């Protein structure tokens, strides 16, 4: 009974010694399992007629396969639709119509196009420059029209206020008296068409002169109607030049002898008109209005350290005012004796708090 257990132990040791262990795992058992699986798969593939091996694949061959499997059928499908909807005669007519329409129109059409393609690609041609300019000009035109209406209303109010100022400071009488005294200073040769008026700083714009009074003749009587209330640029004619410079001017010829000598044979007709326009800062239409007046005078009135106004007188006769230098001194003396300068200073102080519109400004 003691020998049987010994035989069992020996058989167990014999079986154990036939395995090859690697880290506690039987290597021979694993190899046998793998071979068994390969054999099973070989029998299965042979039964299903599965070909052995495989073709090598690259990214290029994959793209080609996708192109032929997906893109070509899609393109063919779209081509069939286009051919059915747009036969070639219709396409030919469309091309000819576009050519006749003109490349400029096509460019304008494309430049104003806006579209977005799949993938986030956006095209925004924007509005054609002429359209943008036309729109901006339209907006500016409407803004200017509104501003012009408001300016007209401002001048309407200014005329009412100026009428009150004229009455309060007796401007009409003072200008009439000064016209009479200037005519007396000119002497017996004072022409019958002599006239005098007064300009002051404009009430609305900072770069304009406002005609405060009507014209008065050599007897101090009013000889015009509806001339007061007009506004002129400070760059207009002799009144603008005297206002800006403060230099008095009295001349007996619209075109001086030196200017006529410089012009020579061109001192007539259209060439003369253009010369006057350049010399006096006028338009040709304005030249047509002033050209008959050969003699003129403009003197600035100053007081209290301020420029208060400009008196202006003229005549259609050439050399109508005699000795210009002597007359200038006499008029200066008359202005100092007149109450007109004091009245204009009071008006200027009354209008000082007003803010005027400034259009042009040098930057």
Identify which has the larger pLDDT, 222 or 6.
222
User: Rg of the Cα trace of the chain?
Assistant: 52
Which has the minimum average pLDDT: 60-74, 98-112, 186-200?
Answer: 98-112
111 vs 134: CA distance, rounded Å: 16
Taking all residues of the chain, what is their mean pLDDT, rounded to a whole number? 79
Same structural domain for residues 302 and 222? yes
Comparing 194 with 285, the larger pLDDT belongs to 194
Residues 128 and 153 in one domain: yes
Q: Are residues 152 and 199 in the same domain?
A: no
Task: Find the domain containing 244 and state its range.
Answer: 170-254+293-351
The answer to the question of residue 197 being in a domain is yes
Q: Provide the pLDDT for residue 78.
A: 73
Residues 141 and 189 in one domain: no
* 165-169, 280-284, 357-361, range with greatest mean pLDDT: 165-169
Same domain, 155 and 191: no
- Comparing 195 with 87, the larger pLDDT belongs to 195
Q: Is residue 183 part of a domain?
A: yes
For the segment 167-203, what is each residue's pLDDT rounded down to a tens digit?
999 999 999 999 999 999 999 989 999 999 999 999 9
Is 236 among the domain residues? yes
User: Tokens representing 323?
Assistant: 């000795």
Is residue 231 scored above 90 in pLDDT? yes
Q: How far apart are CA 71 and CA 196, in angstroms?
A: 93
* Domains: count for the chain: 2
How many whole angstroms separate alpha carbon 75 and alpha carbon 95?
A: 22
Using one digit for the tens of pLDDT, what is the confidence trace for 110-138? 555 565 655 555 555 555 556 777 888 88
Mean pLDDT, residues 80-102 taken together? 66
344 and 203 together in one domain: yes
Do the domain assignments include residue 63? no
**Claim to verify: residue 239 and residue 100 sit in the same structural domain:** no
CATH assignment of the domain containing 235: 3.30.450.40
Give which of 107, 121, 183, 165 is closest to 309, Cα–Cα.
165
The residue behind tokens 């009439």 is 176
DSSP output for 51-93: PSS-----HHHHHHHHIIIIIHHHHHHHHHHHHHHS-HHHHHH
Q: Are both 103 and 221 inside the same structural domain?
A: no
Domain co-membership, 213 together with 186: yes
Q: Is residue 151 part of a domain?
A: yes
The percent of residues in the chain predicted with pLDDT above 70, rounded, is: 69
Residue whose C-alpha is closest to residue 306's, from 346, 276, 249: 346
Within-domain flag for 287: no
Judgement on whether residues 101 and 188 belong to the same structural domain of the protein = no
d(CA 297, CA 107): 61
> For residue 333, is pLDDT > 80?
yes
Task: For residue 242, report the phi and psi dihedrals to the nearest 5 degrees.
Answer: -70, -40
CB 327 within 8 A of CB 321: yes
Residue, of 310 and 107, whose pLDDT is higher? 310
Does 327 share its domain with 192? yes
* Other Cβ atoms closer than 10 A to 166: 19
Q: Are residues 246 and 343 in the same domain?
A: yes
């Amino acid at each position: 009974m003691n020998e049987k257990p010994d035989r069992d132990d020996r058989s167990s040791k014999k079986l154990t010694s036939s395995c090859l262990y690697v880290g506690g795992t039987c290597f021979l058992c694993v190899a046998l399992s793998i071979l068994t699986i390969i054999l099973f798969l070989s029998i299965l593939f042979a039964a299903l007629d599965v070909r052995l091996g495989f073709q090598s694949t690259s990214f290029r061959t994959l793209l080609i396969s996708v192109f032929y499997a997906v893109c070509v059928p899609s393109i063919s499908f779209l081509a069939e639709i286009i051919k059915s909807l747009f036969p070639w005669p219709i396409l030919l007519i469309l091309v000819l119509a576009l050519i006749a329409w003109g490349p400029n129109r096509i460019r304008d059409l494309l430049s104003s196009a806006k579209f977005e393609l799949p993938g986030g690609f956006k095209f925004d041609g924007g509005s054609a420059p002429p359209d943008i300019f036309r729109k901006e000009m339209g907006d500016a035109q409407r803004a200017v029209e509104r501003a012009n209406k408001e300016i007209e209303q401002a001048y309407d109010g200014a005329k009412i206020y100026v009428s009150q100022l004229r009455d309060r400071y007796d401007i009409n009488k003072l200008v009439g008296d000064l016209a009479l005294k200037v005519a007396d200073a000119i002497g017996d040769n004072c022409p019958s068409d002599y006239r005098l008026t007064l300009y002051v700083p404009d009430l609305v714009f900072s770069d304009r002169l406002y005609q405060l009074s009507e014209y008065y003749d050599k007897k101090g009587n009013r000889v015009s109607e509806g001339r007061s209330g007009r506004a002129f640029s400070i760059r207009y004619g002799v009144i603008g030049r005297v206002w800006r410079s403060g230099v008095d001017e009295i001349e007996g010829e619209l075109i001086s002898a030196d200017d006529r000598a410089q012009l020579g044979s061109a001192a007539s007709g259209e060439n003369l008109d253009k010369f006057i326009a350049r010399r006096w800062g006028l338009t040709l239409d304005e030249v047509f209005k002033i050209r008959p007046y050969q003699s003129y005078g403009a003197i600035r009135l100053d007081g209290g350290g301020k420029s208060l106004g400009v008196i202006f007188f003229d005549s259609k006769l050439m050399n109508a005012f005699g000795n210009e230098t002597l007359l200038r001194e006499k008029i200066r003396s008359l202005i100092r004796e007149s109450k007109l300068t004091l009245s204009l200073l009071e008006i200027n102080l009354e209008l000082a708090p007003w803010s005027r519109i400034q259009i042009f400004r040098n930057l």
